[in-house]
Amino acid sequence: MTDTNPGAITSEVVSHLASLARIALTADEIEKLTGELGAIVDSVAKVSEVATDDVPATSHPIPLSNVFRADVPGVTLTTEQALAGAPEHDGSRFAVSAILGEEQ
């Protein structure tokens, strides 16, 4: 794969992927990952050699149809249990910083 390939992994691509994945990567990490991901993607791209149109995709190892449970209330976590591991809460709700930035 060369730099002219539209699928090439550049530092801009990695930086964009990191923002999609909500990870504030450092510049050093972006540089290192760009090289590593390029090598990995070059290698795994081999799958397209045999993935022809006549082969159906498999998403799940054992075929299953949809699974429903009875529509009756079950045992659930209490509010206290649900909040017990939260970094911050007000006793009944999870607490977070502003959802929207100032410019919005």
Partner 1 sequence: MADLNDLTRMSASDLATKLSSGDVSSVEATQAHLDRIAAVDDKVHAFLHVSADALANAKRIDERRAAGESLGELAGVPVAVKDVLCTIDMPTTAGSKILEGWVPPYDATPVAKLRAAGLIPLGKTNMDEFAMGSSTEHSAYGPTHNPWDLDRIPGGSGGGSAAAVSAFEAPLALGSDTGGSIRQPASVTGSVGVKPTYGGVSRYGAIALASSLDQVGPVSRTVLDSALLHDVIGGWDPRDSTSLNEQWPSFAAAARAGATAESLKGVRVGVIKQLDSPGFQAGVSQRFHEALQLLTDFGAEIVEVDAPHFEYAVEAYYLILPAEASSNLAKFDSVRFGLRVTPEGGGTVEDVMAATREAGFGDEVKRRIILGTYALSAGYYDAYYGSAQKVRTLIQRDFAAAFEKADVLVSPSAPTTAFKLGEKLEDPMAMYLNDVTTIPANLAGIPGMGLPMGLAPEDGLPTGFQIMAPARGDARLYEVGATLERLLEQQWGHTLPSQVPSLG
Interaction with partner 1 in 8-67: which residues (CB under 8 A)?
9, 13-14, 17-26, 29, 33, 36-37, 39-41, 43-52, 55-62, 64, 67
61/91 with CB nearer partner 1: 61
5 near partner 1, judged by CB under 8 A: no
For residues 47 and 35, is the Cβ–Cβ distance under 8 A?
no
- Residue 86's Cβ-side half-sphere holds a number of Cα atoms within 13 Å equal to 15
Instruction: Tell me whether residue 9 is exposed, middle or buried, using C-beta atoms within 10 angstroms of its C-beta: 0 to 12, 13 to 18, 19 or more.
Output: buried
Tokens coding 5: 């390939």
Output the smallest distance, CB 29 to partner 1, in A.
Answer: 7
81 near partner 1, judged by CB under 8 A: yes
Instruction: Tell me whether residue 15 is exposed, middle or buried, using C-beta atoms within 10 angstroms of its C-beta: 0 to 12, 13 to 18, 19 or more.
Output: middle
> Which residues sit at the interface with partner 1, rule CB under 8 A?
7, 9, 13-14, 17-26, 29, 33, 36-37, 39-41, 43-52, 55-62, 64, 67, 69, 77, 81-82, 84-88, 94, 96-101
